Amino acid sequence: MFLPYLLAYGRTPWPFVSQLGNYLGALVNWVKLQNSSQTSEGDAAQEADELLFSIVGWHALTLPQNPAQLAEARMDMLAVLLAIGLDPKKSVIFFQEDNPNHTELAWILSCITPVGKLRRMTTWKARLATARNHPEEQQVQDALKDANSEVDETGLNAGLFTYPVLQAADILVYRATHVPVGDDQTQHLELCRDLADQFNRTYKSKYRMFPLPVQLNTPSSRILSLRSPTSKMSKSSPDAQSRILLTDSTAVIASKIKSAVTDSIQGITWDPVGRPGTANLLSILAACNGDESVKETASRYQGKNHGALKRDVTEAVEEMLKGPRREFERLKGDREYLRNIAREGAEKARVKSEVTMKEVRGRIGLA
């Protein structure tokens, strides 16, 4: 029987910290999972043995990076995770690159991964488009919808092509049983399960080496781009006005929301298809308030205009982010504390993963 390890998928350190979509869509739920100490599979709840959160620097290298900016970004990302409420006394928080067991297992898994499976992965195609600074164009949307779509592979490197295998290793090296990921990562989790099953069948023993991890569904808000409200809010978009960063000042937040794309229709109604920009602002407001549904929020604005809605969204976002922003600035100035947290987390991660790797090496004949 596998212990119910829960691995929260890692965050990639970009040259700027997390944006509102990440915060409301993932980070808030990570804190809730940590503090609830419960995971669920279907309707059955079970005690969580451990939660692990990683900052995935090796994944960042699949796209061009400025080394100095990357070094700064990884520490900033750690500060963000702590600022929003993750507690190193309750969870294991670490840099992926501080645990070489991830890459060792990734290589072993790559040796049993069919190239055809990787070629059908949609997200490397989207990331390749992102690298060309076209993250919101139809090319990305088509890639995400069609596993067999053809894309221009100019600039594709082996790391980007095979990074889904490293993602699988990130999970399996801890024998994680639950992974809280969004629908955009479902294909990656399916590959992870396939590779776990392939390893179990290839290197048989009295019991399975790896569990088949399941997706942990948690309520989350899908926050869209302020400038292109049919696409997700993205930290990699070339348009800085399209996203709200956790570190944005009150004035910057107000400016970005004021310039958010809406429509010319009078009144405020909930219509995600016909009025995506307006619906996005309502989603943000409902998520910030947290005590009512988006439809209930919309009903309160039936007789109001976009100006009133944008003003209230600005106030709600500022109120929600001011605490984490203040804590982030404090933590950012204490690099020694951050390094100690990362060092302690990496040691815990290495100890847990080494148990897995010792057995893996034995099963494949390298021990």
Mean local confidence (pLDDT), 147-173: 84
> Which residue among 125, 232, 256, 332 is the active-site one?
232
Per-residue pLDDT band at 150 (split at 50, 70, 90) = low
Answer whether 14's CB lies under 8 Å from 237's CB: no
Per-residue pLDDT band at 219 (split at 50, 70, 90) = confident
pLDDT recorded at residue 85: 95
- pLDDT (tens digit per residue) in 6-64: 665 566 665 556 899 989 988 888 898 888 864 444 433 344 457 899 999 999 998 88
Q: Which residues contact 138 (CB under 8 A, 6 or more apart)?
A: none
> Which residue among 235, 256, 310, 352 is the active-site one?
235
CATH architecture of 5-215+335-364: 3-Layer(aba) Sandwich (3.40)
Domain 240-329 annotated CATH 3.10.25.10: no
Mean local confidence (pLDDT), 283-307: 92
* Boundaries of every domain in the chain: 5-215+335-364, 240-329
Mean local confidence (pLDDT), 298-312: 95
Q: Give catalytic status of residue 322 as yes or no.
A: no
Report the range out of 59-73, 178-192, 338-352 with the highest average pLDDT. 338-352
pLDDT recorded at residue 171: 94
Count, residues in the chain: 367
Q: Give catalytic status of residue 32 as yes or no.
A: no
pLDDT recorded at residue 7: 65
User: 332: which 2 tokens?
Assistant: 């950012």
Q: Which residues contact 277 (CB under 8 A, 6 or more apart)?
A: 229, 260, 261, 262, 263
Q: What angle do CA 201, 203, 207 make, to 5 degrees?
A: 75
- DSSP label of 91: S
Lowest mean pLDDT of 33-47, 120-134, 241-255, 344-358, name the range. 33-47
Report the mean per-residue pLDDT for the chain: 87
Is pLDDT larger for residue 330 or for residue 122? 330
pLDDT recorded at residue 16: 56
Q: Give catalytic status of residue 348 as yes or no.
A: no
Q: What is the pTM of this model?
A: 0.86
Residue 276: pLDDT over 60: yes
- Cα dihedral 281, 282, 286, 288 in deg (nearest 10): 10
